[in-house]
């Protein structure tokens, strides 16, 4: 399966890097086994494998060096002589034709070599675990070698932490890739200058690694590899999940992140790239994002923005006005704005929306609310739910600001040709810019008073 | 005119599903979003044409549909004197309203294809042709929104299965995405 393909790729890459001639089986027995299974706590869980069985029996038979070596021998025996099945060929089918999933198996008779089976273990250890219980395999030299380099640190970390639970290699990979792709990462001095995220169960005292947010992993990848990457998304357990090949449009995503970093840096000095990435929360879970067919700008829709956008349930919430310069709403609004800008991807439209927001402020004039009756018009406008309403309500502004006639005309013609899916985004952007302008005005007048 | 032309037929239908080659023990599987060399060869044989040069696939959304599956083999229950099949539950992410463009090298091939139905990987999901053959330049075809697998090995290629028509050799290709391939045409 695909895990086998990637496992073999890793061994090839390592042979090229270290000028060695290791076979996949050599690598499995000497390096991989030693690191992953030659300890009382294993790094990887392979459901129903010999290692899994021994681990479950460790109460009766402690996992001594001798026991572990015997288990390895028994596992070799199976791999060399038995027909591969899912219990030791990772990503493989169930053993019997009477299994409920047997209908999914092809009728092509594929000779699966022991080499391929060994490779499948190594490949599965390269899956990057993300929130939502899915793993991502990435066929990229830098990613594969980085993950491989991280394995030994997982063992080191586990040795340091006696209550750390075993079997979390995929979760580790998620943390390691975000850590190793940091700007300030220096593997030579201290790979743990940033500690892995660990949570401790109060009752049992058992510590476990925390799964990384999917968008955090995507941002880390985007930072180092700004090109489209075809990833493979899956999960292996009693039963598997195959999402399949999903392209991650890292270049588009990194542009959003860089723009956001630039904007937020103006707001809060000294904000690092990683901090900005960590502030970002998405609306969609990873599986939902994969349903979009590719992970691009659309997939990283910020959390809760939808509540403000017009939709089936009406015109959406109004944006609250930030209280002061320190208000965290500013950051949220910048995230919203940057994402909408990237989605609309229309420089002219964005400039126009800025100008419109300024005009709306002029019309409603929140400093003398109610005196001129303009604020109702503006409220109505920002509560529009569709294209027709929006154009019609723009038209009503003409009486208030006759001199802005050409601009209103321009905006109406742009709205008329805008794709349907962009309308709610544009309305949300108008509302947002309006709220921001309003905040600027009220804070400056309160200062003047 | 020396410029190479494609003769393009557009197929549409309510559902489409392409099983990824790695799905063998699943409780949940999404549809693959592109055709592999062996799928294209299967469609070519079904249509009875010389060759299919390119493809482009788009759809409205992925819909997760739960179904019951049965094992391939029977279990004999000697005591109860009956044979049964093991059942299992599978959630399948199916494409809604798939649109497939196929490019042919000759007008004859395209016209023949435009009179036939095809299916992707489940024979109940029938896609029907528009009865019109579009003549397009390569550039024009390249603008059609959708997914396509550009066949062959390259640094950005991924392995997409084994080719039953080529002695089960591994198949490779690079995923190409043009425009907005999912949800550009809202449902309804």
Dist CA A258 CA B63 (whole Å): 34
B86–chain A Cβ distance below 8 A for any pair: yes
> Closest to A241 (Cβ–Cβ): which among B26, B85, B86?
B26
The rounded mean pLDDT for chain A is 89
The answer to whether B40 touches B52, Cβ cutoff 8 Å, is yes
More confident residue, A430 or A110: A430
Angle at A21 between CA A16 and CA A24, to 5 degrees: 95
Say yes or no to pLDDT of A368 above 70. Answer: no
- Is the Cα torsion angle A320, A321, A326, A332 positive or negative in sign? positive
According to DSSP, residue A31 is labeled I
- pLDDT class of A449 with cuts at 50, 70, 90: very low
pLDDT of A446 reads 54
Structure tokens at B175: 């995923």
Longest dimension (CA), chain A: 90
How far, in Å, are B18, B101, B167 from residue B145 at the CA level?
A: 19, 10, 33
Q: Which residues of A touch B19 (CB under 8 A)?
A: 104
pLDDT value at position A420?
A: 84
Q: Is B36 on the interface with A (CB under 8 A)?
A: no
Helix axes A422-448, A387-396, angle to 10 degrees: 40
Say if residue B74 is exposed, middle or buried (CB neighbours under 10 Å; 0-12, 13-18, 19+): middle
pLDDT of A413 > 70? The answer is yes
Residues of chain A with C-beta less than 8 angstroms from the C-beta of B28: 241-242
Bigger pLDDT: B147 vs A443: B147
In 3D space, the residue among A130, A303, A342, A100 whose CA is nearest the CA of residue A216 turns out to be A130
Q: Does B38 touch chain A (CB under 8 A)?
A: no
Per-residue pLDDT averaged across A119-145, rounded? 95
- CB within 8 Å of A218: residues ≥ 6 apart: A248, A250, A253, A295, A300
Q: Note down pLDDT in tens along chain B; length 188 residues.
A: 457 899 999 999 999 999 999 999 999 999 999 999 999 999 999 999 999 999 999 999 999 999 999 999 999 999 999 999 999 999 999 999 999 999 999 999 999 999 999 999 888 899 999 989 999 999 999 999 999 999 999 988 888 999 999 999 999 999 999 988 888 766 55
pLDDT at A419: 85
Predicted local distance difference test score (pLDDT) of residue A256 = 94
SS3 B64: strand
Give the closest-approach CA distance of B98 to chain A in angstroms: 13
Which pLDDT score, from 0 to 100, does residue B88 have? 92
What does DSSP assign to residue B147?
E
Quote helix, strand, coil % in chain B, to nearest 5: 10, 50, 40
What is the per-residue pLDDT across A66-98, written as a single tens digit (0 to 9) for each? 999 999 999 999 999 998 988 899 998 888 899
Instruction: Say what the pLDDT of residue A234 is.
Output: 96
Q: Based on the number of CB atoms within 10 Å of its own CB, is B16 exposed (0-12), middle (13-18) or buried (19 or more)?
A: buried
Residue of B nearest to A231 (CA): B158
The end-to-end CA distance of chain A, in Å, is: 71
Residue B22 contacts A, CB cutoff 8 Å: yes
pLDDT at A369 over 60: no
Query: CB contacts < 8 Å between A and B, how many?
Result: 140
Q: Which residues contact A290 (CB under 8 A, 6 or more apart)?
A: A134, A233, A243, A246, B30
pLDDT above 90: percentage of residues in chain A = 56
pLDDT (0 to 100) of residue B186: 62
Q: A240 - beta bridge partners? A: B26
Mean pLDDT of A243-267: 92
**Predicted confidence (pLDDT) at residue A187 exceeds the cutoff of 80:** no
Mean pLDDT for all residues in chain B: 93
pLDDT, greater one: A382 or A54: A54
Are the beta carbons of B33 and A239 separated by less than 8 Å?
no
The Cα A381–Cα A361 span in angstroms is: 12
């Amino acid at each position: 399966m695909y895990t086998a393909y990637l496992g073999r790729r890793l061994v090839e890459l390592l042979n090229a890097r270290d000028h060695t001639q290791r076979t996949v089986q050599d690598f499995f027995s000497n390096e991989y086994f030693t690191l992953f299974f030659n300890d009382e706590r294993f790094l990887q869980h392979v459901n129903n494998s010999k290692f899994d069985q021994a681990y479950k029996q460790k109460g009766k038979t402690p996992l001594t060096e001798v026991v572990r070596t015997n288990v390895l021998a028994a596992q070799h025996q199976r791999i060399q002589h038995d027909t591969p099945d899912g219990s030791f060929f990772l990503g493989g089918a169930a053993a019997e034709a009477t299994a409920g999933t047997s209908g999914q198996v092809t009728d092509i008779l594929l000779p699966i070599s022991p080499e391929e089976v060994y490779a499948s273990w190594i490949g599965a250890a390269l899956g990057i675990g993300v929130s939502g219980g899915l793993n991502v395999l990435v066929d990229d030299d830098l990613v594969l070698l980085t993950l491989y380099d991280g394995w030994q640190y997982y063992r080191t970390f586990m040795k340091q932490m006696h209550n750390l639970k075993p079997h979390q290699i995929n979760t580790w990979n998620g943390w390691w890739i975000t850590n190793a792709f940091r700007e300030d990462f220096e593997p030579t001095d201290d790979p743990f200058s940033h500690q892995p995220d660990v949570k401790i169960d109060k009752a049992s005292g058992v510590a476990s690694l925390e799964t990384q947010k999917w968008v955090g992993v995507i941002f880390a990848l985007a930072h180092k590899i700004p090109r489209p990457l075809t990833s493979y998304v899956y999960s292996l357990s009693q039963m598997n999940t195959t999402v399949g090949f999903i392209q991650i449009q890292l270049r588009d995503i990194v542009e959003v992140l860089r723009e956001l970093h630039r904007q937020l840096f103006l707001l809060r000095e000294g904000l690092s790239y990683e901090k900005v990435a960590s502030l970002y929360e998405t609306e969609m879970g990873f599986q939902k994002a994969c349903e979009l067919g590719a992970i691009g700008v659309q997939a990283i829709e910020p959390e809760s923005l939808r509540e403000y956008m017009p939709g089936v349930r009406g015109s959406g919430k109004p944006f609250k006005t930030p209280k002061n310069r320190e208000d965290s709403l500013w950051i949220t609004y910048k995230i919203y704005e940057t994402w909408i800008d990237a989605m609309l991807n229309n420089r002219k439209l964005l400039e126009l929306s800025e100008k419109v927001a300024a005009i709306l402020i002029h019309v409603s004039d929140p400093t003398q609310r109610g005196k001129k009756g303009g604020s109702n018009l503006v409220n109505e406008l920002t509560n529009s739910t569709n294209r027709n309403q929006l154009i019609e309500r723009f038209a009503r502004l003409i009486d208030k600001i006759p001199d802005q006639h050409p601009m209103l005309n321009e905006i109406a013609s742009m709205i008329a040709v805008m794709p349907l899916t962009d309308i709610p985004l544009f309305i949300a952007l108008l509302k947002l810019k309006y709220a921001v302008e309003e905040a600027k005005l009220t804070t400056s007048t309160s200062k003047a008073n | 005119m020396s410029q190479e032309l494609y003769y393009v037929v557009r197929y549409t239908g309510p559902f489409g599903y392409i099983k990824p080659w790695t799905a063998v023990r699943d409780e949940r599987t999404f549809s693959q979003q592109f055709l592999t060399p062996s799928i294209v060869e299967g469609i070519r044989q079904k249509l009875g044409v010389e060759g299919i040069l390119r493809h482009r696939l788009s759809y409205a959304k992925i819909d997760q549909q739960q179904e019951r599956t049965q094992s391939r083999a029977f279990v004999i229950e000697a005591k109860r004197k009956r044979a049964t099949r093991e059942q299992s539950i599978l959630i399948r992410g199916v494409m809604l309203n798939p649109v497939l463009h196929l490019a042919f090298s000759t007008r004859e091939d395209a016209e023949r294809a435009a009179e036939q139905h095809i299916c992707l990987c489940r024979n109940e999901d029938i896609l029907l042709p528009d009865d019109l053959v579009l003549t397009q330049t390569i550039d024009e075809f390249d603008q059609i929104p959708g997914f396509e697998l550009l066949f062959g090995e390259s640094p950005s290629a991924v392995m997409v299965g084994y080719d039953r028509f080529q002695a089960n050799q591994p198949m490779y290709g690079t995923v190409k995405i043009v425009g907005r391939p999912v949800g550009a045409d809202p449902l309804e």
